[in-house]
């Protein structure tokens, strides 16, 4: 599927509304870090990645690892909007018996590659998947989305060394650089900067973009896929809670659902309706 930037923005808007609808229906979940990744997920599932909604584990598919597993709502919304399962199922988020648990589980719902939620492990899994492609002579690419707070977990840096050692140019990692983690700023909790220099020192190609600019996302993904050696990280400057005025840059919306009134205000804003 090859949508243009404006159509992708429209998909991202639908994904954002789904995120608000589903976390409100659940009465819990993580809207802030889901909203900050919505533009990326729209671009990946509707343009960048080779996916097969009717045959979700077709061997030719590109692989996506949501290392920041608490952002499950954005992944579920992207998969449903792309046709992997019905959009109405999104409202079962976090319910007993639902395939849509609070964090993604292996192949449930269809389209999910790996179980995540325990932060710090996804990049290692993505490295293994990318190395397997290399060893098997397969052309698929592996994509991995990391939280910035998540990068404080030391295992990421072991994975970063591994990816360079094996020259995993078929691996693209993204950092959702929204500068907030669970209770406040990343730089107060454990400073990450200078982040680009850290990745460069580990031998990675580094691209820095505005993570809400569709054209920049598409261009950066293209550049990463043309890299001839070494893995690429795309550091996306983003806003946690992007698109909902009262959530933007507010750490309290990391893991909290809207009241009905807040839901209606958020959805009206996302639909572009005057209050």
- Complex with ligand TPP: residue 62 or 153, whichever CB lies closer: 153
Does 117 interact with ligand TPP (rule: CB under 6 A)? Answer: yes
The answer to whether 180 contacts ligand TPP (rule: CB under 6 A) is yes
State yes or no: residue 269 binds ligand TPP (CB under 6 A).
no
CB–CB of 51/64 below 8 Å? no
Torsion angle of C-alpha atoms 213, 215, 220, 221, degrees rounded to 10: 110
Q: Whole-number minimum distance, CB 212 to Mg ion, in Å? A: 14
Q: Which is nearer to ligand TPP, 240 or 242 (CB)?
A: 240
Stretch that binds Mg ion, among 159-167, 176-184, 189-197, 262-270 (CB under 5 A): 176-184
Q: Which residue has the tokens 């996506």?
A: 64
In the sheet that 205-210 helps form, which strands lie side by side, from edge to edge? Answer: 63-66, 142-147, 171-177, 232-237, 205-210
- DSSP state, residue 153: S
Kindly state the number of chain residues that form the binding site for ligand TPP, as judged by CB under 6 A. 20
Say how many residues touch Mg ion, by CB under 5 A.
5
- Give the binding range for ligand TPP (CB under 6 A) out of 89-97, 133-141, 178-186, 217-225: 178-186
Taking the C-alpha atoms of residue 244 and residue 263, their distance in angstroms, rounded to an integer, is 10
The yes or no reply on residue 113 touching Mg ion (CB under 5 A) is: no
Would you count residue 121 as binding Mg ion (CB under 5 A)? no
Q: Percentages helix, strand, coil for the chain, rounded to the nearest 5?
A: 45, 10, 40
> How many angstroms separate the CA atoms of 78 and 81, rounded?
5
Report the alpha-carbon distance of residue 228 to residue 242 in Å, rounded: 34
Establish if 153 lies at the interface with Mg ion (CB under 5 A): no
DSSP string, 65-101: EESSGGGHHHHHHHHHHHTSS-GGGGGGTT-TT-S--
Site for ligand TPP in 132-161 (CB under 6 A): 147-150
Q: Does 70 bind ligand TPP (CB under 6 A)?
A: yes
Q: Which residues bind Mg ion (CB under 5 A)?
A: 147-149, 178, 180
Q: Which residues bind ligand TPP (CB under 6 A)?
A: 32-33, 36, 68, 70, 117-120, 147-150, 176, 178, 180-182, 240, 254
């Amino acid at each position: 599927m090859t949508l243009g930037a404006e159509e992708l923005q429209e998909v991202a808007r639908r994904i954002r509304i789904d995120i608000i609808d589903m976390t409100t229906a659940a009465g819990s979940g993580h809207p802030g870090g889901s909203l900050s990744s919505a533009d990326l997920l729209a671009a990946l599932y509707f343009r960048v990645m080779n996916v097969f909604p009717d045959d979700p584990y077709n061997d030719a598919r590109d692989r996506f690892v949501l290392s920041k597993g608490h952002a499950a709502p954005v992944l579920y919304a992207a998969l449903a909007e792309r046709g992997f399962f019905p959009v109405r199922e999104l409202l079962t988020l976090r319910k007993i018996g639902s395939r849509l648990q609070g964090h993604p589980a292996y192949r449930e719902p269809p389209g999910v590659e790996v179980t995540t939620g325990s932060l710090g492990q996804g990049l290692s899994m993505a490295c293994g998947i990318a190395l397997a492609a290399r060893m098997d002579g397969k052309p698929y690419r592996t994509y991995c989305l990391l939280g910035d707070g998540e990068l404080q977990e030391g295992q990421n840096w072991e994975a970063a060394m591994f990816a360079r050692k094996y020259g995993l140019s078929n691996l693209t990692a993204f950092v959702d650089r929204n500068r907030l983690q669970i209770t406040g700023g990343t730089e107060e909790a454990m400073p990450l900067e200078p982040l680009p220099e850290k990745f460069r020192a580990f031998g990675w190609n580094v691209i820095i973009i505005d993570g809400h600019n569709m054209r920049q996302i598409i261009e950066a993904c293209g550049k990463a896929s043309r890299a001839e050696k070494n893995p690429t990280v795309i550091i996306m400057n983003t806003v946690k809670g992007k698109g909902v005025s009262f959530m933007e840059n507010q750490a309290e919306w990391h893991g909290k659902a809207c009241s009905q009134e807040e839901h209606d205000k958020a959805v009206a804003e996302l639909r572009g309706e005057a209050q």
